[in-house]
Structure 1
Amino acid sequence: MAGSTKSLVKGSPAPGPVPDGSIRAYLMRFCPFAQRAKLVLVAKGIKHEVVFVNTLNKPDWFFEKSPFGLVPAIETSKGQLIYESAIVCDYLDEVFPGKKLTPEDPFQNAQQKMLLEHFSKASSLLFKIVGAKKNNEDTSAIKKEFLEKLIQFDQIVAKRNTPYIGGSSVSMADYMMWPIFERFGIFGVEDCLDKTPHLHQWYQLMLKDPAVQATITKPEVLEGFFKLYLQGNPESVDYGI
């Protein structure tokens, strides 16, 4: 995710009011959940500014913006605060004009949410891999289970027979899932796409999406961040700048 300003840390002063006509996004460069919000902001062409927060050394005031201390959070010029990635993305899509990312049809909307639930059964295992790597534990069993669940998800996607996971064009479900796929390399599961042909085809299609291209992080930069992150190094969040 682009940006050259260093992340704000404990002791950093809080930013001032959000300018009229804009919105402020509190993000961390390498967080997949923060990237969800950034994808929606870019895809809809929403005027915004970004404040990067060091999630390993958070400013005290950040908990006033996001009570759980998590990114993303957004703040409006009226001082309204919204946090949690799915809630943030839904808010942005509902409030701002531009391309509608969430289906208007209630059933299609429910279908997308169900697809996200199916994918979460696989993606939750990736964060177990992170924990295992931090403890220098073997990850082969977790990776095997992940592949099994990803193959099941690939079969669900295949039955939909649409180019994008959410339908005939890119939509909210695609942007909610993409940041996890982008990080397959650091989780050590990139070879799983070779065994999930429909997801592999979707992955290649998403690489051409303008919002994805605007928010993607080079694999070598992700790798550099992840190595430092596993060590608990607070400088990891600003790797590469």
Structure 2
Amino acid sequence: MLKKERHDLIMRQINLHNRVLTSDLVQLLNVSEDTIRRDLQELADNNQLIKVHGGALSTSYQSSFNDQNVYARDAKICIAKKTIPLIKDGMVILTGGGTTIIELVKQLPENLQATFFTISPFVAIELAKYAKIEVILIGGLFSKNSQVTYGGHVITQLSEINADLCLLGTSAMHPVNGLTDTDWEINQLKKTMLNSCKFAAVLCISEKLNTTQRLKVAPLENIHYLVTELDGTSAELDPYRIKSLMIL
């Protein structure tokens, strides 16, 4: 495989999943770990990604306030607008992090009255711009890779919440394997968040559909809403049409 082809495949994985592991790229591209490290360094030198220990991060994931760097921003804005009707005055809402959630926050009604719990400082800062929204940032250890708080203290706090609605992004979604991710700590957070709400909505660009990562978060049956930029009647979404899941 040519270097240009490897770089294109690496960037696709970065754009889809926000972060990649060196070990996963070695397996995916069938090359040595040294080759992947050199590829990541070259891409980092060209400001296409951010190289970290064990892998790399998307520049948009690391710089959430720079709209120009957000991958598939138009699709994420579409998803955000389709999610807004789920949010009502007086609700208690729990959110994860990521650029899709931040785009959602930017689309909220100006006079919305609600309480938001979040594990993302970036999301909290965006929420703080709304005069009538109470913002509660759940504190703990801070993940430089995922840009959210994590750890036992965070999980304990999450488990004490009974939210009306949980809003989550995802690294991958599959009709059989459900929600999956690559980070053990993030998996535990998401599992706890799904158990701490009455209804859960997953916000997912269509490119992440029919993909699977190594660690399972939850089956489709644990989710109430799937929101993508696709038309809700699209045939691409047919494998996700189960009784308990509403597709927006």
Say yes or no: TM over 0.5: no
1 or 2, which has the higher helix percentage?
Answer: 1
**TM-score scaled to structure 2, two decimals?**
0.30
More contact order relative to length (CA 8 Å, sep ≥ 6)? 1
